[in-house]
């Protein structure tokens, strides 16, 4: 099991780097799909099969399909070497990245220190348990989110349709 975790961890990291460094947008999008799939396998290894499947169905299977279709339709081609790398990104990017990494390191250090034993709390991650949580304890946030999405859908329709 441990070896699988490392394999898919490495796959996820390599693919994530590939998302950033690929020059062709479609390759970037495909790399992102690989990241999502690798993360799904890691969820599976952590004993959360439902989350893993939902991750693949929603992110890899639905959202990324739209990304890929849009990229295909715009026919965004090969991006030239450092064609439009903004000066802003060059000066602000590295410090922000450094700040993020330091923050990340501090949190991990505080949480686990040198022991490195990240013991996950024993949670029931079965679909039934998640459903019970969603529809009993967290019913209000759930409904608010669904209304938020509904509003976004209506907004998209209004924007896309010239006249209703």
Partner 1 sequence: MATFSDTEFFLIETVIKIALIMFILLTAIAYLTWLERKVIAHIQSRWGPYLVGPHGLLQPLADGLKFMFKEDIAPLEADPVVYWLAPFLAFLMAFLSIAVIPFGESFTLAGHVIQLQITDLNVGLLFVFAVTSLGVYSVALAGWSSNSKYPLLGGLRSSAQMISYEVSLSLGVIGVLMIAGTLSLREIVNQQAGLWAHAGLFSVLPRWNLFLQPLGFLIYFTAAIAETNRIPFDLPEGETELVAGFHTEYSSFKFAIFFMSEYANMVTVSAIATLLFFGGWLGPSFGPYWLRVILPVLWFCLKLFCFLFFYIWVRGTLPRFRYDQLMAFGWKFLLPLGLLNILVTSFVMAWLHS
Residues that bind partner 1 (CB under 8 A): 26-27, 30, 33, 37, 40, 49-50, 52-54, 56-57, 60-62, 65, 68-69, 72-73, 126-128
CB of 33 to partner 1, least distance (A): 7
Our CB check for partner 1 shows the closer of 63 and 101 to be 63
The torsion region of residue 82 among left (phi > 0), alpha (psi -120 to 50) and beta comes to left
Minimum CB separation from partner 1 for residue 74, in Å?
11
- Count of alpha carbons within 13 Å of 62, Cβ hemisphere only? 6
Rounded distance between C-alpha atoms, residue 8 and residue 4, angstroms: 6
Contact in structure between 36 and 19 (CB atoms under 8 Å): no
Q: Nearest distance from residue 121's CB to partner 1, in Å?
A: 20
Place of tokens 């989350």: 51
Nearest distance, CB of residue 87 and partner 1, angstroms: 32
| Helix locations, the chain, DSSP H | 2-21, 25-45, 49-54, 64-74, 87-112, 127-132, 139-160
CB of 9 or CB of 61, closer to partner 1: 61
- Of 73 and 140, nearer to partner 1 (C-beta) is 73
Q: Which is nearer to partner 1, 69 or 99 (CB)?
A: 69
- Choice between 105 and 127, CB closer to partner 1: 127
Q: For the CB of residue 56, give the shortest distance to partner 1 in the complex, in Å.
A: 4
């Amino acid at each position: 099991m441990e070896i699988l975790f490392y394999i898919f961890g490495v796959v996820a990291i390599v693919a994530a780097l590939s998302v950033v460094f690929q020059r062709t947008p479609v390759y970037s999008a495909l790399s992102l799909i690989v990241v999502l799939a690798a993360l799904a396998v890691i969820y599976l290894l952590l004993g959360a099969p439902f989350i893993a499947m939902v991750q693949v169905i929603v992110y890899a299977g639905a959202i990324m399909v739209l990304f890929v279709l849009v990229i295909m339709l715009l026919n965004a081609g090969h991006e030239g070497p450092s064609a439009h790398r903004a000066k802003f990104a060059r000066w602000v990017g590295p410090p922000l990245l450094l700040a993020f990494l330091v923050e990340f390191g501090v949190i991990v250090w505080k949480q686990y220190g040198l022991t490195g034993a990240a013991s996950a709390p024993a949670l029931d991650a079965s679909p039934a348990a998640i459903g019970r949580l969603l529809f009993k304890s967290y019913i209000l946030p759930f409904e608010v989110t669904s209304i938020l999405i509904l509003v976004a859908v209506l907004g998209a329709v209004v924007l896309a349709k010239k006249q209703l």
